Amino acid sequence: MKVKICGMMDAEHASAALRMGADALGFVFASSPRQVSLERARSIIRQLPQKGEKVGVFVNESRENMEAAVDYCGLTMVQLHGDESDVLCSSLSVPAIKAVGIRSEKDAFRAFRYTSPYLLADSPKEIYHGGNGKTFDWGLLTRLQAGMEGRKLILAGGLTADNVEQAIALAKPYMVDVSSGVESNGVKDLKKMEAFIKKAKGAM
């Protein structure tokens, strides 16, 4: 099971996550309590080993700005949480993860219109487009999984060390994505990160 730790804001926690076995790190450039500047993300990434995906998280950003961020920061993937078109998702120079909020079975079916190699199923957007720390009905993903046709499902939304095994058993994702679920008082917690990664990688 692959694990992504999102909302990285400093090199210490980013490096620790990779040492613990995380496969991907997320850097949020959209409006969020975990938003980082391009300069900060670049500084952090330059201190990290080559291993692990470095994912830039955007909401309704232009293709030009995203490509500039990829080049400047050294991103290896982008994650799109807005109303981006499938054409935009397919036109980027690095693989795109298209995030979709799942409130009903209709939302799961609507996700099929995206042909991105990765689809991220998240709880519906609230004040922020992601990272709200709330779960949704993982059973709704049964239909979504059936139509993935070679694409890979990433599960996000309110995951913690306490529920990630159940989530994996129900949704059977390729990767799980966590942010607030490994934080204490809004800051990444090393013990929570380690517990989450161990539980996720030991599941199934």
87-105 pLDDT tens trace: 999 999 999 999 988 888 7
Q: How many domains would you assign to the chain?
A: 1
Q: 28-83 pLDDT, tens per residue?
A: 999 889 999 999 999 999 999 999 999 999 999 999 999 999 999 999 999 999 99
Closest among 72, 68, 6, 69 to 33, alpha carbons compared: 6
Query: Phi-psi category of 183—alpha, beta or left, where left has phi over 0 and alpha has psi -120 to 50?
Result: beta
Residue 158's domain spans which residues?
2-202
Q: Please list the active-site residues.
A: 6, 122
Q: 52-62 pLDDT, tens per residue?
A: 999 999 999 99
Q: 108-159 pLDDT, tens per residue?
A: 777 777 888 999 998 776 544 444 556 778 887 876 776 677 789 999 999 9
Burial zone of 138 (CB within 10 Å; 0-12 exposed, 13-18 middle, 19+ buried): buried
Q: What's the CATH code of the domain at 139?
A: 3.20.20.70
